[in-house]
Amino acid sequence: MKIAIGADHGGYSLKQVVVPYLESLGHEVEDVGCECDQSVDYPDYALPVCDLVASGKAERGILICGTGIGMSIAANKVRGIRCALVHDLFSAQATRDHNDTNVLAMGERVIGPGVAQEIIRIWLETPFSRGERHVGRLNKVKQIEENDSARS
């Protein structure tokens, strides 16, 4: 899989662990930064990752900041992005199965690298169930996106 990844200074150290982990699983990684732990703004890294995913240039995206919250808020503003903030293994599985999420957000200040790697492994391996009720709900979410852009 081609996976885009980005982090701010609060997620930089975890990103440096996650990139080689993804490569060890055989994935192609596009790392949009940041490049060090100097203070930066998370939307500047959320957007390029989400653009790669929304345009189909990457199949999935991973975003890391201190809490994962800022990244997930920013990501879900991008048309076509379904981003889940995940810090436990159950949610990693459920958000693929039920929500077909294409971007994963995590907080380096919330979980350690071992849990983060296991979340990523499960999130990448779990398919969308394609269950009728889940597809219907996602269509309703898409409708919100479309109605909202028609309003502005």
Residues contributing to the annotated binding site for D-ribulose 5-phosphate: 8-9, 66-70, 99, 109, 133, 137
Instruction: Please give the Cα distance from 102 to 98 (Å, whole number).
Output: 12
- How far is CA 43 from its chain centroid? 13
Binder to ligand RB5 among 12, 42, 45, 123 (CB under 6 A)? 42
The Cα 46–Cα 39 span in angstroms is 15
Shortest distance, position 77 Cβ to ligand RB5, whole Å: 14
User: To the nearest whole angstrom, how small is the minimum distance from the Cβ of residue 11 to ligand RB5?
Assistant: 6
Question: Rule CB under 6 A: is residue 45 a binding residue for ligand RB5?
Answer: no
Q: How far is CA 5 from CA 64, 120, 132, in A?
A: 8, 12, 31
- Residue span binding ligand RB5 (CB under 6 A) among the ranges 22-30, 62-70, 76-84, 138-146: 62-70
Q: Which residues are catalytic?
A: 65, 98
What one-character-per-residue DSSP string does 57-118 give? Answer: SSSEEEEEESSSHHHHHHHTTSTT--EEE--SHHHHHHHHHTT--SEEEEETTTS-HHHHHH
The reply on whether position 110 binds ligand RB5 by CB under 6 A is no
Which residues are CB-neighbours of 120 under 8 A, at least 6 positions away? 18, 21, 22, 62, 92, 104
Annotated binding site: 8-9, 66-70, 99, 109, 133, 137
Choose the binding region for ligand RB5 from 13-21, 61-69, 87-95, 140-148 (rule: CB under 6 A): 61-69
Residues in contact with ligand RB5 by CB under 6 A are 8, 10, 42, 65-67, 69-70
